Amino acid sequence: MSKFKFNKKYKAIVIGGSAGSFQGIVKILSNLPEHFPIPIIMCLHRLKHVRNGFVEALSIKSIAEVTEPHDKESIKKGKVYLAPANYHLSIELGHYFSLSTEEMINNSRPAIDITLGTSAYVYRDKLIGILLSGANRDGGLGMKWIKDRGGLTIVQEPSECMIDTMPKAAMGYTNIDHVLKIDQIVQFLKELDKQYIK
Amino acid sequence: MKDIDIADLRRITELIKTKHSYDFTNYAMSSFKRRIVRILELYNLTVDSLIVKLSQPKFLEEFLNEITVNVTEMFRDPSFWRVLRDDIIPAILLNHQKIRIWHAGCSSGEEVFSMAILLKEMDILHNVQVIATDLDTNILERAKSGAYNLKNMDLNEKNYIRFQGTGSLKDYYQEVNGKAVMDKSLVMDVSFRKHDLVKGGIFNKFDLVLCRNVMIYFNQALQNEVLKKFHESLFKYGYLAIGSKESLIWCDIANKFIVVNNEEKIYKKIKD
Ligand SMILES: C[S@@+](CC[C@H](N)C(=O)[O-])C[C@H]1O[C@@H](n2cnc3c(N)ncnc32)[C@H](O)[C@@H]1O
């Protein structure tokens, strides 16, 4: 029946995306099962100096409310978080966020590698990492760190990506578990949802 | 990127704490770890050799310069600066002729120059006493010199335009040898000092304290400690401004402040 096998309970999902990922993100968020059982943390490249608008644009389409976390805010299930403009977003061991303004990485702040890497450190094998369309290599290493710590890795099918540099970078760094189209990612999340007793 | 474990981080912070008068124990873990890894790579050191080097006072100063994150901009969050100009400063002026402002964690001074320009455009620059502090002595020197890379001025200029200043940012600097050299008269009365928010005491009372994008490098316990110091350093009905993605609501001291502007994270002390 299902092509996905779930052999454990995951505790969080991190999603990275850049150029060409907006439509995909919207599709994922608008098809998310209600009361999704685990937090979704998104790090998307965005205009550095536009503080407002993006989170609202995503929220309108999303089933769950999308928020930009404050520094030291606790991570809660059922919520969708978006890295704020011009800050790196890290996950800390006590399951809360912290922000920083360190140098850009791969010309990006927020840098996907930082969010993915710190998530992998905290959630280890209980993490699912998803990397979508994008025009640079940011996130590639982050996916490797997730895989190295036993997490599950998914990239958007390169042929479906507007720009496939990002998922391809990840595929170069590590053995990605699933290469999926957005529709399949939506399906994956629906099946994942069924694993949790509500 | 190398990885180092928590035990190694503890060894480093313990050593600094016992040998020197600094305490990084309560810095936020993930960014502190990245800074340490960066230093190891920069100086090509192992954790053990870093620990040996850290006993030398001369290296410690360099270490302090590298461990801190100094990224900053002029008029960062232009809407914040508009609120300062249009609401906060006028409100302070209703009660005080002379205003005292503290920039805690001023980094290379862009925030201080932004404030000076704002005050000058309000024609009150000389009614204001400004103290600007940072832990990092190197960066304080840079703040005092007020010379910035020209390539940063693009962004600063854009922010200034969004701030809707009365002139052009170019009115306040000159290009000298590929640097933007700020008009020194802007910060003539500013006192730049080294001060450690973790170990340092209270040294004055202020009408307005700005501590933006500094406490994000601290864990919550340390944020609480530092916020107590800010509370003590403010006159009653004085204002505290923190970074746009920071919050006071979880802090011990939250009930002694009210929110004046939630979007820009400006608070007012209402209880001693
Ligand atoms: C990212 S900069 C913030 C600059 C400016 N306030 C802004 O918002 O753009 C952070 C500054 O905090 C300083 N800092 C870090 N720890 C400190 C401490 N314990 N005491 C004083 N300053 C500290 C760093 O040296 C750095 O210059």
Please count the structural domains in chain A.
1
Mean pLDDT of chain B: 96
> What is the ipTM metric for this complex?
0.94
Distance between CA atoms of residues A124 and A12, nearest Å: 10
Edge-to-edge strand ranges of the sheet holding B234-242: B191-194, B128-134, B99-104, B206-211, B234-242, B266-269, B257-261
CB contact under 8 A, A100 and B31: yes
CATH number assigned to the domain comprising residue A35:
3.40.50.180
**Res. A69 pLDDT band, cuts 50 70 90:** very high
A158 contacts B70 by C-beta, under 8 angstroms: no
Distance between CA atoms of residues B244 and A54, nearest Å: 16
Chain A residues within an 8 Å CB radius of B72: 101
Q: Is the CB of B109 under 6 A from ligand 1?
A: no
**A2 inside domain:** no
Which helix H or strand E contains A100, and what residues bound it?
Answer: strand A96-100
Edge-to-edge strand ranges of the sheet holding B173-176: B147-149, B179-182, B173-176
Separation of first and last alpha carbons in chain B: 47
The residue-averaged pLDDT of B121-150 equals 97
Distance between CA atoms of residues B76 and B80, nearest Å: 8
Tokens of A175: 């053995």
pLDDT of amino acid B1: 54
Chain A residues within an 8 Å CB radius of B215: 71
**A44 inside domain:** yes
Q: Please check the confidence at residue A1 and state whether its pLDDT lies above 80.
A: no
CB contact under 8 A, A92 and B31: no
pLDDT of amino acid B137: 93
Nearest to B241 by CA among B224, B261, B271: B261
Residue given tokens 């002595």 in the structure block? B137
- Tell how far the Cα of B68 is from the centroid of ligand 1, in angstroms: 7
- Write out B7-52 in H/E/C secondary structure: HHHHHHHHHHHHHCCCCCCCECHHHHHHHHHHHHHHCCCCHHHHHH
Q: How does pLDDT run across A150-173, given as a tens digit for each residue? A: 999 999 999 999 999 999 999 999
What long-range pairs does A88-91 form, CB within 8 A, spacing at least 24?
A88/A114, A88/A115, A88/B31, A89/A41, A89/A43, A89/A114, A89/A115, A90/A114, A90/A115, A90/A118, A90/B28, A90/B30, A90/B31, A91/A41, A91/A115, A91/A118, A91/A119, A91/A121, A91/A122, A91/A123, A91/B30
**A115 inside domain:** yes
Mean pLDDT of chain A: 94
Q: Is the CB of B6 under 6 A from ligand 1?
A: no
Nearest to B121 by CA among B178, B163, B157: B163
Tokens of A22: 């907006």
Burial class (CB in 10 A: 0-12, 13-18, 19+), A136: middle
Burial class (CB in 10 A: 0-12, 13-18, 19+), A156: buried
**A122 inside domain:** yes
Query: Minimal Cα–Cα distance from B196 to chain A, Å?
Result: 19
Q: Please check the confidence at residue B179 and state whether its pLDDT lies above 90.
A: yes
Q: Please check the confidence at residue B109 and state whether its pLDDT lies above 90.
A: yes
Tokens of B23: 């305490």
**A3 inside domain:** no
pLDDT of amino acid A82: 97
Query: Minimal Cα–Cα distance from B96 to chain A, Å?
Result: 33
Using CB atoms, which residue from A51, A72, A90 is nearest to B31? A90
Distance between CA atoms of residues B169 and B102, nearest Å: 23
Query: Rounded to two decimals, what is the model's pTM?
Result: 0.96
A155 contacts A129 by C-beta, under 8 angstroms: no
Q: How does pLDDT run across A125-156, given as a tens digit for each residue? A: 999 999 999 999 999 999 999 999 999 999 99
Distance between CA atoms of residues A116 and A196, nearest Å: 24
Chain B residues within an 8 Å CB radius of A117: 1
Q: How does pLDDT run across B138-153, given as a tens digit for each residue? A: 999 999 999 999 999 9
Distance between CA atoms of residues B259 and B261, nearest Å: 6
Distance between CA atoms of residues B264 and B133, nearest Å: 22
**A145 inside domain:** yes
**DSSP letter (8 states) at residue A60:** H
Q: Please check the confidence at residue A17 and state whether its pLDDT lies above 90.
A: yes
Distance between CA atoms of residues B224 and B215, nearest Å: 10
Report the chain B residue with the minimal C-alpha distance to residue A141: B1
Report the chain A residue with the minimal C-alpha distance to residue B219: A72
pLDDT of amino acid A21: 92
Chain A residues within an 8 Å CB radius of B245: 68-71, 84, 87, 99
CB contact under 8 A, B30 and A73: no
**Residue B87, SS3 per DSSP:** helix
Domain coverage including residue A102: 14-193
Closest residue (by CA) to atom 9 of ligand 1?
B72
Using CB atoms, which residue from B79, B245, B250 is nearest to A68? B245
Using CB atoms, which residue from A72, A102, A114 is nearest to B220? A72
pLDDT of amino acid A51: 74
Query: Minimal Cα–Cα distance from A192 to chain B, Å?
Result: 29
Provide the residue count of chain B.
Answer: 272
The residue-averaged pLDDT of A9-24 equals 94
Q: Helix axis angle, A112-123 relative to A140-148, nearest 10°?
A: 10
Residue given tokens 């995909």 in the structure block? A24
**A140 inside domain:** yes
CB contact under 8 A, A101 and B250: no
CB contact under 8 A, B250 and A72: yes
Q: Is the CB of B134 under 6 A from ligand 1?
A: yes
**A112 inside domain:** yes
Q: With pLDDT > 90 as the criterion, what percentage of chain B qualifies?
A: 93
Distance between CA atoms of residues B227 and A128, nearest Å: 37
Nearest to B25 by CA among B35, B34, B33, B14: B14
Report the chain B residue with the minimal C-alpha distance to residue A52: B263
The residue-averaged pLDDT of A79-103 equals 97
**Res. A2 pLDDT band, cuts 50 70 90:** low
Q: Please check the confidence at residue A47 and state whether its pLDDT lies above 80.
A: no
pLDDT of amino acid A46: 86
User: Which residues of B fall below an 8 Å CB-CB distance to A?
Assistant: 1, 28-31, 34-35, 69, 71-72, 77, 79, 155, 158-159, 213, 215-217, 219-220, 223, 243-247, 250
Q: Is the CB of B265 under 6 A from ligand 1?
A: no
Distance between CA atoms of residues A182 and A168, nearest Å: 16
Chain B residues within an 8 Å CB radius of A105: none
Q: Please check the confidence at residue B68 and state whether its pLDDT lies above 60.
A: yes
Domains of chain B: 6-67 (no CATH), 78-269 (3.40.50.150)
Q: How does pLDDT run across B205-217, given as a tens digit for each residue? A: 999 999 999 999 9
